[in-house]
Amino acid sequence: MTLFRLDASIRTDGSVSREVADSLERGWLAEHPGDAVVRRDVGVAPIPADVWATAAAAQHVPADQRTEQQEAAVALAAALADEVLAGDSVVIASPLYNFTVSQHLKTWIDLLVTDPRFTPGQQPLVGRPVALVLARGGGYGPGTPREGWDHATPWLRRIFGDVLGADVSAVAAELTLADVKPAMADLRDLAAQSRTEAHGLAERTGRTLAARALAGRALANA
């Protein structure tokens, strides 16, 4: 069994999305000790922003007439698609930047869907479990002043669930900036509670994903 994990935070030390994704990974590996985890870190090693445009343009050019740059872009898109398709379970770990996903995650998704297997209508991830791990610096829940300002989670659910066909779940830690912003000092206890709950839910989600992926493989091989 293989877990594909993508991290999008530009931080390594102190990244809450990475920490919570670590808990999910531990839960998954507890069910599949010794199995493979394939990682793609677009926060540390971002995909060049111009590759998507090059790959998209290449779709309208006969294969034998593509430039070297177009061939390289198409090959990278195929490699990204291969990584995702090789995962029996998928986890996407993303902080909320400026109320949405980072440019690095957006570029990765844009390039991914240029691969013919991932173009809208194909739904290559039907039935496959995908977990979103979100870290939000503020509070965005019902009744908060910024309810509805989280434009990352609904979009990611739309892409992976509705467009690609995956079975999507989500784990979120909120108020992650409370420890570093004096104006949020009164929210630090709530922030700690949210983080603790996110770690617990992430580990349980990892175990659930592992069990469902195993059941899905058994069904496919029946």
Which pLDDT tens digit goes with each residue over 179-204? 999 999 999 999 999 999 999 999 99
pTM of the model: 0.94
CA–centroid distance for 93 within its chain = 5
Structure tokens, 114: 């240029």
Q: Where are the domains of the chain?
A: 2-221
Question: Taking the C-alpha atoms of 157, 160, 163 and 167 in order, what is their torsion angle to the nearest 10 degrees?
Answer: -90
Looking at every residue in the chain, the average pLDDT score rounds to: 95
CA distances from 36 to 88, 123, 124, 169, 211 (A): 10, 24, 21, 21, 15
Q: Where are the alpha helices (DSSP H) in 126-222?
A: 153-157, 188-221
Domain 2-221: give its CATH architecture: 3-Layer(aba) Sandwich (3.40)
| 124-166 residue pLDDT tens | 999 899 999 999 999 998 999 999 999 999 999 999 999 999 9
Residues 131, 149: Cα–Cα separation, whole Å: 21
DSSP 3-state of 19: helix
